[in-house]
A and B are shown apart, each in its own frame.
Chain A
Amino acid sequence: MADRKRHYWLREDFDELMGLLPGNDLADPGSADSSISLACPKSLKGAAAELKLRGLKCDEADLAFLADKGIAKPQRGQSLVSDDQGNVGTVPSAKVMFWSKQDIDAAAEWLYENEQWNQWTHFCWVSNLRFGQAVRAHRYMCARHNLGFTTSFDALGVVTVIEAPDDPDDYARVRFYPKGTKVEVRE
């Protein structure tokens, strides 16, 4: 694996899993503010929500800061202003932004590099897991055995196993086994 490993929910993994939701790539009135939607551009609110879901710690103010710094370059809407003489004009809006996937990913990368992680990214970093694989395995296990989804990687009533990779440059993998499965701990 030539690239350095990342432990937040990577774009390709996120798109892949969210792409399973029918119509999730279609723009509708709520999609711009939605964390799970694949329709872009997203609003500031939607971009922040997606990044939180992808395991990064941020809010709208953080993203506005990144946009001001030029780390991400979302397009801005126009705000109406008027001068003392009553002449009306427009200036780039501080709040209305259109975040493309590239902008969101640029912000994600900066947040990751600066360790703005939530507990699940930290968990993946400690365990050398690929976030996307852990989420998918968890969703699969819950769906397969009617366990109901949780917002974490925890699945109640099953044995969670993290298998070390054969290649040290690769990610470990998380697997879930039925309750009572005997597992052997390896250093």
Chain B
Amino acid sequence: MVDDKEVLDRLDCYAKAIARNLLLKFDSAHDRHRAEDIAQNLFLAGWQVWKAKGNEGLAKHRMSDRAKDEAERLANELKNEPQPLRYLPTAGSDDERDDVDATEAYHVESASSPHRPVGVSALSRASPVEDMIVQEYLEGLTERQRRIVECRMAQMTVKEISQTLGVSTSTIERELTLLQKGFHRDQGD
């Protein structure tokens, strides 16, 4: 018998992690109201599948699917919002915004040193709430998955992660695929 509370905890964690990553992608990690709204939508989407089918994997799959809609909506919303000053185009650099990615706002100290172990502390986040959300998500992973996610969050490539952790690139890719599909603790260390 699967404990409903534990599954709901995991789904909630997963929803918050997706919401956070989504906002990071759009450089809006500081917007805690938006993060809350997206996480609640995702949780409710997954919750319905969990209640109807009793399958956590399907529930997470539905949440990931729903995240695409949320990303689209977010992109539309942000289009109509004033841009931060640093994104204002300067003379002769119309494409400047394309050159700026989330790493600028979410400064990564260790991305250039692949052999240095990367932890959550390597990332300077906007708020302790985000740290808490990330920690909750990471706690639901195996040790190896956790380290891979941390490296990935530090914008490292698969090859860099493979060198850092001393495992093959195909293993990293397999783990990342499983994580994207919402499978945790399916693989032993």
Using a CB–CB distance below 8 Å, which chain A residues touch chain B? 16-17, 19-22, 133, 136-137, 139-140, 143-146, 173
Contact = CB atoms under 8 A, between A and B. Distances in A.
Contact of B43 (A133, A143, A146): A143
Interface stretch (B44-52, B111-119, B147-155, B156-164): B44-52
A146 B66 contact: no
Interface residues of B, number: 16
B40 A136 contact: yes
Contact of A21 (B40, B43, B48, B69): B48
A137 B44 contact: no
Contacts of B73: 16
A141 to B, nearest CB: 9
Residue among A16, A17, A20, A139 with the highest chain B CB neighbour number at 10 A: A20
Given A20-B48, A21-B48, A173-B33, A136 B8 contact: no
B44 A140 contact: yes
Contacts of A133: 37
A144 B12 contact: yes
Contacts of B69: 19
B48 A137 contact: no
Contacts of A140: 40, 43-44
A16 B41 contact: yes
Residue among A16, A19, A139, A140 with the highest chain B CB neighbour number at 10 A: A140
